[in-house]
Every structure is written in structure tokens, then in C-alpha cells.
């Protein structure tokens, strides 16, 4: 039995490595559900037909793909697709501030008052970003 154990462990490890790439695919298929389930449309209570997307509803399938593609790939309910999405004007404006002013302030804080000043500037920049976004 002792001689077999390493072989069993190796086989199990090999199998897990080989099967790993297929797990997300299997999960995606499992998520699709039966046709009866997929006919149910999941939308938030504040869903707006005028396509006014809130920050938390970004990345729905039809934002990036055609309706036909979404229907044929298990996104008939227009749920969100995990991929990079384009920022809107407000988000870009909010991010520009930390990129430019925030970075400069963090460096200035570090140079003037050391790690404490660096931490203070980082907290200030984060708070500013939070206020701008939400």
C-alpha cells in the first residue's frame, strides 16, 4: 500500500491539473440552467428601460455584444459578462484626480513628513475618490 500511495497522489494531482481549465466552463454551463429557468429575467428594481446604467449594473451582455450573440451564449437574461468595460465620463473624471493630484500628493507627503505623511495623503486621495464616485 505504501508503494502505491505516491502513485495515487501523483495521479490525483495530474488529474486535478488537467481538469482545472474545464472547471470554469462546466460552471458556466451549469449557470445557464434549463430553458424554463433562463426565460426568467433578472433585473434590479430600479431597472431603467432608457438604458441609464448605474455604477452597479455595468457590463451587461448587450453593452458589448449583439442580442443574438447574448441569446445564443446563455445570456438571454442580459446578465453581466465578466470582461473589461468602458468607463463613463464621470468615472474618468474621478480617476483623473487620483492619477495626477493624488500621486503628486502621496509623493510630496512621503518627501516632507515620511511614512506618516504618505499614509495621510493616501487616505485623503482615497476619500476624495470615494466622494467623487459615490
Rounded to 5°, angle at Cα 128 from 122 and 129: 90
- Residue 28 as a binder of other proteins (CB under 8 A): the answer is no
Question: Hunting for cell 470615494 — which residue is that?
Answer: 130
- Residue 90 as a binder of other proteins (CB under 8 A): the answer is no
Touching other proteins, residues 112-131 (CB under 8 A):
112-114, 116-117, 119-121, 123-124, 127-128, 131
Q: How many Å apart are CA 77 and CA 80, to the nearest integer?
A: 9
In the chain, the N- to C-terminal Cα span, in Å, equals 61
Report the residue number, 19 or 111, with the smaller CB distance to other proteins.
111
Q: Closest by alpha carbon to 128, among 93, 81, 89, 94? A: 94
Choices 3-11, 41-49, 61-69, 92-100 (CB under 8 A): range interacting with other proteins = 92-100
**Contact set with other proteins (CB under 8 A):** 96-97, 100-101, 104-105, 107-109, 111-114, 116-117, 119-121, 123-124, 127-128, 131-132
Amino acid at each position: 500500500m505504501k508503494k502505491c500511495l505516491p502513485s495515487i497522489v501523483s495521479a490525483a494531482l495530474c488529474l486535478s491539473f488537467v481538469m482545472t481549465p474545464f472547471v470554469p466552463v462546466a460552471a458556466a454551463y451549469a449557470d445557464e440552467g434549463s430553458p424554463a429557468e433562463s426565460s426568467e429575467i433578472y433585473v434590479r428594481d430600479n431597472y431603467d428601460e432608457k438604458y441609464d446604467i448605474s455604477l452597479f449594473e455595468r457590463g451587461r451582455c448587450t453593452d458589448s455584444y449583439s442580442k443574438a450573440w447574448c441569446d445564443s451564449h446563455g445570456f438571454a437574461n442580459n446578465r453581466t459578462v465578466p470582461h473589461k468595460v468602458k468607463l463613463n465620463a464621470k468615472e474618468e473624471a474621478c480617476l483623473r484626480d487620483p492619477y495626477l493630484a493624488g500621486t503628486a500628493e502621496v509623493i510630496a507627503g512621503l518627501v516632507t513628513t515620511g511614512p506618516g505623511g504618505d499614509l495621510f495623503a493616501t487616505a485623503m486621495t482615497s476619500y476624495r475618490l470615494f466622494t467623487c464616485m459615490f
